[in-house]
Amino acid sequence: MDVLWDSTEPLTVRQVGLRLTNRDLAHTTVMTVLDRLAKKGFARRQRDGRAWRYQAAANREAYVTELMLHALDQTGDRSAALASFARRVSDSEAEVLRRALESIGEVPRD
Amino acid sequence: MFPPVLVLAAVAGGTALGAAALASARWPYRSPGAAILLWQALGLSWGLAAVGALAALGAVPGEHGVAGGALSGAARAIRSAALGFGPPALIAAARLAVLAASAALFALLVWVLLAASAAVLVARRRHRILLSLLAHGDPKVPGALVVDHPAAAAYCVPGLRSRIVISAGTLDLLDSAELAAVLAHERAHLRARHDLVLLPFSALGRAFPRARLVCQAHATVALLVEMLADDRALRQRPARELATALLRVGTSGAGLAPSGALAAASAADAEMTTRVARLLAPQARLPRHVQALVCCTAALLVAVPVTLLLFSF
């Protein structure tokens, strides 16, 4: 997926394989992975002669944003899908908590 | 001997009152595990008693408790409607109506649980796929995945293939001791499958967002589950590390929250303050015999409706 994100143009299976130089992957392995990414909607593909050309469906930042939105569920009805360590508090409460932090001898960092 | 319908109705009403009392009680913070068991028993008992009370209204006295009575009651009413004899039509219709209501309530509760479970599984799967594409390991947090994002986030994705996720923002914010406390907390969630404890409560809370008691129950159990994980993490890490980690992560995003999330923020305020206070000034756990009493109450709460549904006296 990193290869697709780093490329500006759609790539063929062979091109993706060539860019994965650090790993020794069979052509068919790369093809299977790309096929699965396309089926799951992470990559788009188009016919180019006899080969498929693949490109990322959305950029990396969009997916990171989706992940974090899900993780930092601000709506209050926390879904049971994830379990967050701490919840965001309001400004006034943050002040109270920062003072608590200072009172136990810790300097708040931001 | 009281008729089952009265006992079941009393249990349904009593569990609702009990839940309201438990939501505002403070002793659960001292022994969150026992309190969670009581919450589960209250929920299960209420469901069984509410369905059972309606079924008992339409049941005929028989050998196999309210459940058997309800089935033969339905059969008799349908037979009499089809053949035109037996109890007067009005009584048969009324009997069918309450039995249908009972079955509908039962089906609704089951459906809500199944739908919520399915939604959770789908969301988790999507999240895990995204993680496998985006996240990477980091020697600072062994066993956890790191997502490159400046906001502070630390959470786990429960399931058979569970994941602990830490954002790059959290890595910058916390020192190594605090990170270890966060990991211990999240591992406690995953190991004890706290998500399964929470699922029915969150499912009901989402299905009935206007029912205050249901939402209160969800919020309370969610807080108790966090406390349970805090307690578990305290076995490996000092309370101070966990408290400062909580404070840092909780206050890091202050000012960024959208204004529409005010209610959520005030609930989060109370929750975070309670958890931090509990870590910095711990209270003694409930004595053993009180915990045993709570467990016996929980068992009794479930046993009464189950007995009435299955056996006749």
Listed in sequence order, the residues at least 6 apart from B45 whose beta carbon sits closer than 8 Å to its beta carbon are: B11, B15, B301, B302, B304, B305
User: Which residues from chain A sit within 8 angstroms of residue B271, using beta carbons?
Assistant: 87
Options 3.20.20.70, 3.20.20.140, 1.10.10.10, 3.50.30.30; which CATH number does A1-110 get?
Answer: 1.10.10.10
Q: What residues does each domain of chain B span?
A: 1-127+285-313, 135-253+263-282
Contact B121, B195 (CB under 8 A): no
Contact across the interface for A84 and B199, Cβ inside 8 Å: no
CA distance B260 to A74: 9
Of the candidates A85, A90, A110, the beta carbon closest to that of B266 is on: A90
Assembly ipTM: 0.72
Q: How buried is residue B84: exposed, middle or buried, by Cβ count under 10 Å (0-12/13-18/19+)?
A: exposed
- Sole residue written with tokens 């006899």: A50
CA distance B47 to B53: 10
Pairing assessment for the beta strands A83-84 and B154-157 based on DSSP bridges? antiparallel
Contact across the interface for B251 and A1, Cβ inside 8 Å: no
User: Which residues from chain A sit within 8 angstroms of residue B182, using beta carbons?
Assistant: 85
pLDDT values of chain B reduced to their tens digit, one per residue, 313 residues: 568 889 999 999 999 999 999 999 999 999 999 999 999 999 999 999 999 999 998 888 877 888 888 888 888 888 877 776 666 777 888 888 999 999 999 999 999 999 999 988 988 888 888 888 888 888 888 889 998 888 888 888 888 889 999 989 889 989 999 999 999 999 999 999 999 999 999 899 888 888 899 989 999 999 999 999 999 999 999 988 898 888 888 887 644 444 444 445 567 788 888 898 898 888 889 999 999 999 999 999 999 999 999 988 7
Contact B308, B65 (CB under 8 A): yes
The model's pLDDT over B238-267, given as tens digits with 9 standing for 90+, comes to: 988 898 888 888 887 644 444 444 445 567
Q: What residues does each domain of chain A span?
A: 1-110
CA distance B169 to B147: 9
Contact across the interface for A90 and B120, Cβ inside 8 Å: no
The model's pLDDT over B59-118, given as tens digits with 9 standing for 90+, comes to: 888 778 888 888 888 888 888 777 766 667 778 888 889 999 999 999 999 999 999 999
Q: Which tokens sit at B22? A: 């438990």
Contact across the interface for A100 and B203, Cβ inside 8 Å: no
